[in-house]
Amino acid sequence: MAINADHWGYGYATDAARVIIDYGFRELKLHRITAAIGPDNAASIAVVKRLGMQYEGRLRDHVYTNGAWRDSLLYSILAPEWTAAPG
């Protein structure tokens, strides 16, 4: 998901991610949802942590962008954790 820089800091990414995760668990009956985030993307890391996702580890050379291989940090949440989460 990408939010235009003019709209950063308003909670839109958190709200959108919350709706997507809720849809995945409640409507699609998924068991697990993951997020792979660039290690330098502090804002996205804060969003997934705020939503209760747990850090699972680092995926080395996970994506190839702009001419270089880059690592990703892997976060996840399971359906029982989501339904038990407040809010």
Assigned CATH for 10-78: 3.40.630.30
52-61 — which CB contacts under 8 Å span 24+ positions? 52/77, 52/81, 52/82, 52/85, 53/77, 54/81
Q: pLDDT of 39-80, one tens digit each?
A: 999 999 999 999 999 999 999 999 999 999 999 999 999 999
Closest by Cα among 15, 17, 25 to 1 = 17
pLDDT for residue 85: 67
Kindly state the DSSP code that residue 12 receives in the 8-state scheme: H
Task: Locate 70 and state its tokens.
Answer: 């880059």
Taking the domains of the chain in order of start, what are their residue ranges?
Answer: 10-78
